[in-house]
Structure 1
Amino acid sequence: MKRSAISGTHAVDRMLKEEVFYPAHDARKESPAYAKAHKHLVKELDLPCLVCGVRNSTLKDPAHNKAGAKDMETHHHVVEWALQNAIDLNKFNERIWPALKNKHPGKYEQPFGQQEMLDFIDHSEDNLWVLCDVHHRHSLVGIHSITAPIWGAQDLIRDDFTYISQVKK
């Protein structure tokens, strides 16, 4: 089938099948250090959702909460918490540490030790993104549910373009 260089607006409907093996780990329980980091980012700094811009302080304002979020959450974005027991320290220091060192001069001067890496994964503000509950866990737009190319562009989509159907389900 020959496709033209320009195709009109169209939908792509696909089912993502994913099978991931997580290492053995304790049930997720918010550590005091994670709770402190979460509170700092969400309540004290009142950082916005990376996608829609809603803040903890604007959740109840429909003009600022177009996705209908109910809560603000933090997402482990460099390394997912549930994978921490499968992360190789040498690979982490080879692939993640240099970027952290460059991005945060003076903060990550030495490669990580095992406990430092685990602490980074659990509660470092440099491993946490603020997202509303919709853009964190919703089945159509949440980072845990859709592919990176689609999730990553959400904050760049024009306001007049409907890119996802039925977000407020």
Structure 2
Amino acid sequence: MTKAQDTHETHRTLTEDVFYPGHEPRTESAIFRASKREMKKEGGYVCAVCGDEESVESHHRFFEWAYSHAIDFAWIRGVALNQVDTMWSHKLQRVVPIPKKHPIWDLIRLTQGFDWEAFDPAKPETFVDSVYNQLPLCELHHRGKGHGRHEESDPVWNVQAFLVKGFVYSPDELKQLHQEHS
């Protein structure tokens, strides 16, 4: 069992250097607005990390809208419909079998109910802006420094929804804890 005194702070700087395809300025599509309405109607429009109902925003779970026209949605549809079992490897520059632990399997499993048969890859917004690609998050867990999905790596960010009561996750929480006890 790890002792509380063994807890230590890790500080890393996440740097991204990637290209986004050209795209129009982001506006909320009718599909995106309908998806938010549907989640609200079903009572599911609360932060997926902390359950907060205030300042909830929709995070594009699998694919950001800006990448809509850079993703091979025809391939994804083919995999979802069990028509394709290979993938293009950018690193190897050839077609390879889809690895058993490829993230495509998580996408397919977590989008059960999405109509991949009717999906038109030429209209990626019908998936990208659907409830199947939305993760409701409060402002802190979406874009907040030291907590936000856009600020931290997957394995670090994900733990926030599973922490034991009393565990201090980040320096801002430690500061708040000290302020409450002084």
Which piece of structure 1 moves more, 105-114 or 134-143?
A: 105-114
Cα RMSD of the aligned pairs, angstroms, is 2.8
Residues 49, 18 of structure 1: alpha-carbon distance in 2 compared, 3 angstrom cutoff: same
Please identify the structure whose Cα radius of gyration is greater.
Answer: 2
Report what 1:142 is aligned to: 148
Superposition map of 1:1-169 within 5 A: 8-41=6-39, 43-47=40-44, 48-55=46-53, 59=54, 71-95=55-79, 99=105, 107-108=114-115, 110=117, 112-121=119-128, 123-166=129-172
Name the CA distance, whole Å, in 1 between partners of 2:110 and 2:14: 33
Residues 72, 106 of structure 1: alpha-carbon distance in 2 compared, 3 angstrom cutoff: closer
Give the match's secondary structure for 1:126: helix
Give the match's secondary structure for 1:152: helix
State TM-score, norm by structure 1: 0.75
Q: Which runs of 5+ in 2 are unaligned?
A: 83-104, 177-182
User: Identity, % of aligned pairs?
Assistant: 31
Name the CA distance, whole Å, in 1 between partners of 2:158 and 2:78: 25
State TM-score, norm by structure 2: 0.70
Number of matched pairs: 149
Name the CA distance, whole Å, in 2 between partners of 1:97 and 1:139: 39
Q: Which runs of 5+ in 1 are unaligned?
A: 60-70
